[in-house]
């Protein structure tokens, strides 16, 4: 049943990730890897069939009351303030951060989102395209598949991400005001200079 849900949700005609022997798969694979190499980010538009999106959104809406909400201030390093550093130092620049996430235990058997997450061809494609030698499901039962929920007025400032990679499935666009930018400067020869450049072109998830 889980496989049937996944295959009816993902647009496999457009993204044949389940057929690694096919020419279309190899074309997709090359396209995604080129985007990752160039931009550090690959976007697969309409990965989910339009007819399946309402069901995913309904799942999230149903569980939204169980979302964990946090409001704090953070710097780009997710570290504590260090008074020994000058006030202009990047580690001493703090910004409002507010968001909510719906824990994974709200998406059990029969969940569309969990079916997509657990579908092996998707995991295999991601492992291959990301060139990861080892690739395992997340073992945290509260965080293996979560929904980030952005409510009116919330924002997430830019930061140095601590993950090797992140796979995000966009379920619903904001009505207005959202800008998402990815910077893939690798390696980081001078993180302070990089911070200054980013700070000059401030973009928030608002």
206 within domain boundaries: no
Cα angle 39, 90, 184 (rounded to 5 degrees) comes to 5
Q: Tell me how many domains the chain contains.
A: 1
In this prediction, residue 173 carries a pLDDT of 82
58 within domain boundaries: yes
The half-sphere exposure of 143 on its side-chain side, counting CA atoms within 13 A, is 5
User: Is the Cβ–Cβ distance between 116 and 6 less than 8 Å?
Assistant: yes
**pLDDT < 70 positions in the chain:** 177-206
Tokens of 95: 């910004």
205 within domain boundaries: no
Of 70, 71, 68, give the one whose Cα is nearest residue 105: 68
Pairing verdict, β 95-102 and 147-149? antiparallel
Sheet (strand 68-74) strand order: 68-74, 95-102, 147-149
90 within domain boundaries: yes
127 within domain boundaries: yes
Q: In DSSP terms, which residues pair with 95 in a beta bridge?
A: 74
Of 96, 115, 103, give the one whose Cα is nearest residue 148: 103
Cis preceding-peptide flag for 187 (omega within 30 of 0) = yes
User: Is the Cβ–Cβ distance between 126 and 136 less than 8 Å?
Assistant: no
22 within domain boundaries: yes
Q: What is the DSSP letter of 159?
A: -
Give the whole-angstrom CA distance, residue 95 versus residue 205.
12
Parent domain of 77: 2-200
In this prediction, residue 105 carries a pLDDT of 95
101 within domain boundaries: yes
In this prediction, residue 129 carries a pLDDT of 95
Q: How far is CA 62 from the centre of its chain?
A: 21
Sorted by sequence, the CB contacts under 8 Å of residue 81 that are 6+ apart come out as 75, 91, 92, 94
36 within domain boundaries: yes
């Amino acid at each position: 049943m889980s496989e049937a849900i996944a295959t009816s949700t993902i647009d496999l005609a457009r993204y044949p990730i389940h057929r690694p022997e096919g020419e279309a798969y190899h074309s997709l694979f090359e396209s995604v890897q080129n985007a990752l190499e160039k931009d550090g980010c690959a976007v697969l538009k309409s990965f989910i069939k339009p007819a399946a999106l309402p069901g995913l959104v309904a799942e999230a809406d149903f569980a939204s009351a169980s979302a964990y909400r946090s409001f704090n201030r953070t710097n780009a390093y997710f570290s504590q303030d260090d008074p020994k550093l000058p006030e202009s130092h990047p580690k001493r620049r703090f910004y409002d951060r507010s968001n909510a996430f719906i824990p994974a235990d709200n998406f059990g058997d029969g969940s569309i989102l969990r079916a997509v997450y657990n579908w092996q061809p998707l995991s295999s494609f991601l492992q291959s395209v990301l060139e990861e030698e080892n690739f395992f499901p997340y073992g945290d039962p509260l965080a293996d598949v979560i929904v980030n929920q952005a409510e009116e007025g919330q924002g997430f400032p830019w930061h140095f991400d601590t993950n090797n990679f992140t796979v995000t499935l966009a379920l619903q666009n904001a009505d207005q005001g959202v800008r998402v930018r990815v910077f893939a400067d690798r390696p980081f020869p001078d993180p302070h200079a990089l911070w200054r450049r980013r700070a000059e072109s401030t973009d928030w998830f608002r």
